[in-house]
Amino acid sequence: MDARTPPLYIDRPEDVAVAARALAGGAVVAVAFANFYAIVSRPDAATVRLVNLAKGRPTDQVGSITTGVCRIPAMFDWSRVSPRLPAGRVLALMDALYGAGPFGFRGPAADRLPEHLTQVDSGLRTTQVIAPGLTCPSNAFFERALAETGSDHLYITSANRSRHRTGLPDEPAHWKSGALAADFAHLTDLVVLVHRDEAAARAAYPGYRTTSVTLLSFHAPEGELEEPPVLTVDRHGSLHLDDVRRAAAPLGLQVRLGDTAGQRLRVREYAGALV
């Protein structure tokens, strides 16, 4: 983000329109996303490869998707959900968790989603949908970008460089736009759509860390037939496991940490001029 260029603000409709048109034209957008930032682009394979390359990831790494809140259920194939797990319970849990703040769900992928945005797990093609929560102004940007691209989904990834590039064990997501822009200065078509007040954005989500979202999978529920279905946290991120359990319990669902979620994601620390 060039200091000479006026910032684009997530809560200003004309700026949202500029960023959405740029995304449709092939630009990569770093967007204010609840209390931190995410990177969003068109969902085609070539653009996803470009973003992977810019982050230092393997170019064929599978991506996640985002979309408007009301479109989220259509990203999944509900006919492939286990009969042990009534769809109504999962949808109610989505309403509860997306209604409160940023979160992610992984489940059976709708057939129309491309291979580079899905992965096979437990014999099922799955996709993961990352969304900022119902009240985040980025939802208006997503809807405008979907209209501009003619798609019903976008590619989304964390706003950070890959550990494959930095050599560090973990690279937390950015929650400050200036540091983010510095990390991606090599990306010529980067547009940054910022929080007008980053401190206020963080304060709006007191129960959430400023890092990538917690991700809950529902495509392979565990447990005995006579017991409540057990869903798996694939990534323990911004929302604590205990809060996920509190949302799931009234719906007759249990939640456990998966094998890859034992270590909760760290929050990025800034120093010096990047603060």
- First-to-final CA distance of the chain: 15
Distance CA(5)–CA(16), nearest Å, equals 16
Burial environment of residue 169 by CB neighbours within 10 A (0 to 12, 13 to 18, 19 or more): exposed
Q: Residue 4 above 70 pLDDT?
A: no
Catalogue all structural domains in the chain, each as residue range(s) with its CATH number. Answer: 8-261 (3.90.870.10)
The string of pLDDT tens digits covering residues 11-43 is 999 999 999 999 999 999 999 999 999 999 999
Report helix angle 138-149 to 13-24, nearest 10. 40
- The rounded Cα 184 to chain-centroid distance in angstroms is 19
Residue 119: which of 108, 130, 103 has the closest Cα?
A: 108
Using pLDDT thresholds of 50, 70 and 90, give the confidence band for residue 168. Answer: low
Q: Residue 269 above 60 pLDDT?
A: yes
Q: Stretch 204-218: mean pLDDT, rounded?
A: 97
Length in residues, the chain: 275
Q: Residue 220 above 50 pLDDT?
A: yes
Query: What pLDDT was estimated at residue 124?
Result: 95
Cβ atoms of residues 16 and 29 within 8 Å: no
Query: What pLDDT was estimated at residue 166?
Result: 55
Question: Tokens in use for 269?
Answer: 């620390």
Q: Residue 162 above 90 pLDDT?
A: no
